[in-house]
Chain A
Amino acid sequence: MKYAFFLGCLIPARELSYEVSVRKVLPELGVELIDMKGANCCAPFSIQSVNYDSWLALAARDLCIAEEMGLDIMTLCNDCYESLLMVNSLLKKNPELRDKTNQILSEVGKEYKGKVNVKNLVDVLYGDVGVAKVKNAIKEPISGLKVGAQPGCHLTKPKRIHFELLRGFNELDALVEATGAESIPYERKEMCCGGPLRDIDDDLARKVSREKLKALKDAEVQAVVTVCPFCFLQLDLGQLELKRHFNEEYNLPVIHFIELLRMGMGMKLEEWEVKAHRIPITDLFKGRL
């Protein structure tokens, strides 16, 4: 299994620990990641809001790079996933749109051919590696830990694109349970973390994440497991903001799924990675850090 690895913008800027865990864990599961040279930002929510044609051409340029590599893409961020997946789907199905986009791409010597697929980390682990193999790799099960899984919006929405690809939220739950942890159902699981409203309406963004954290707290989970780096930021850093603005404390550790898997596989997290969590994880994962 070999993928063109689409790193995105947020992870190298703010969540290096996420990238490091991915690069450590995936080769152990037989997945080879090849960096995409010269890739640009996927054109997420903000850029799509500015200009439609720019969105298509920017995302298509990344798809062209993967085509040249002859590999399917793997993303970590849900926003990267949504943008590349949607544009790939639009251009594959609509020859007129493809021609129009290729006209723009011809300015930079590229042509979109529609030869690759776009996958997310969860797709790769669940669909390609397989839950059985993930389970097999667990040497120190995360037994007895109750977690709330946060798949994030664009892992499964819009459903018109995903219904052929994914079967709902169960993939992440199945992967969480493969590590030995228990995935607890909670209200508002499908609800957004609030991240996209950051820097547009910070107060509202905080209120959305607050709803989510309240529901997680009500379900009495011990930790939140995220896939998307925006969800991670909004729910982890977001708790400090909720303390400042609403004087509310949730004390709910948030952890990237890949870190949970890494600890289950018996690979310890290093001190700087532990410190990348604003809500401390030290008590919860004693002996694994």
Chain B
Amino acid sequence: MSELDLGFMSEVAGTPRGSGILLCIQCGRCSSGCPVARLTNDHNPRRLMEMIILGLKKEVLPTQLPWYCLSCFTCLDRCPQGGDVGDVMFAIRNLAVKHGNMPAGVAAQAKALYETTRVINPVRSALDKRESMGLGKLDTEGLEEVKKILKKTEMDKVISST
């Protein structure tokens, strides 16, 4: 028997992109249009909404479940309730990260952003090509400001913990 956290739905609803969970009527239109749900039973947006409503926090936040979504926003457009399912997905990913659940690929991008202002950086040969083509230099003039923003919003802590 799972341990229920009856405050989980309120917790999700209280995050900036999570309020759509309160509108969910479990119709399943999100799942029927989801390109990932077509391909794997592991991902099912309707079921994920249900798990949040029921309070299955431990079965959601520390698991892979928040990370199957492509954020293509098909579900968000299809929700008859205007429940913004795709936004709720961001809300539970934000909570998952707070619980230390972040894929390595995401962590690497966050780290690169903090160190270079970009999430992906050119290899040497691409920079050389850039110079030989006479294209403008890629600048990092914003680096100190980006670091300040990430410190102020406490994303630096997430980055240093990975």
Contact = CB atoms under 8 A, between A and B. Distances in A.
B68 A201 contact: yes
A52 B145 CA distance: 18
Interface stretch (B22-30, B48-56, B102-110): B102-110
A12 B130 contact: yes
Contacts of B113: 40-41, 43, 47, 58
Contacts of A192: 35, 70, 72, 74
B19 to A, nearest CB: 13
B35 A40 contact: no
Interface string A257-270: 00000000000000
Contacts of B72: 153, 157, 191-192, 196
Contacts of A35: 136
Q: State the main secondary structure of chain B at its contact with A.
A: loop
A199 B73 contact: no
B122 A13 contact: yes
Contacts of B149: 54, 57-58, 61, 104-105, 107-108
B58 interface: no
Interface in A140-167: 153-154, 157-160
Contact of A9 (B64, B119, B136, B148): B119
Contact of B153 (A57, A159, A195, A200): A57
Contacts of A195: 70
A157 B36 CA distance: 17
A204 B158 contact: no
Interface SS of A by simple majority: helix
B67 A208 contact: no
Contact of B119 (A46, A54, A272): A46
A53 B15 CA distance: 11
B47 to A, nearest CB: 17
A147 B16 CA distance: 41
A197 interface: yes
Contact of A48 (B90, B105, B130): B90
A207 B77 contact: no
Interface string A56-68: 0110010000000
Interface string A183-206: 000000011101111111100100
Given A10-B120, A154-B73, A208 B94 contact: no
Contact of B139 (A38, A61, A201): A38
Interface residues of A, number: 57
Interface string B68-97: 101111101100000010100010011001
Given A20-B135, A104-B152, A204-B68, A49 B118 contact: no
A50 B94 contact: yes
A41 B118 contact: yes
Nearest to A205: B70
Contacts of B97: 49-51
Contacts of B93: 49-50
A201 to B, nearest CB: 7
B117 A40 contact: yes
B1 interface: no
A39 interface: yes
6 contacts: A37-B141, A61-B145, A153-B70, A158-B77, A199-B105, A204-B68
Interface of A: 9-10, 12-14, 16, 19-20, 23, 35, 37-41, 43-54, 57-58, 61, 104-105, 107-108, 110, 153-154, 157-160, 190-192, 194-201, 204, 207-208, 211, 272
Interface of B: 15-17, 35-36, 38-40, 64, 67-68, 70-74, 76-77, 84, 86, 90, 93-94, 97, 102-106, 108-110, 113, 117-123, 126, 129-130, 133, 135-136, 138-139, 141-142, 144-146, 148-150, 152-155, 158
The 3 closest A-B pairs by CB, nearest first: A199-B105, A38-B141, A192-B72
Given A38-B139, A51-B94, A195-B70, 20 more contacts: A9-B120, A9-B121, A13-B126, A16-B126, A19-B135, A20-B133, A46-B110, A50-B158, A54-B155, A57-B153, A105-B149, A108-B149, A153-B71, A157-B76, A196-B70, A200-B67, A204-B36, A208-B36, A208-B39, A211-B35
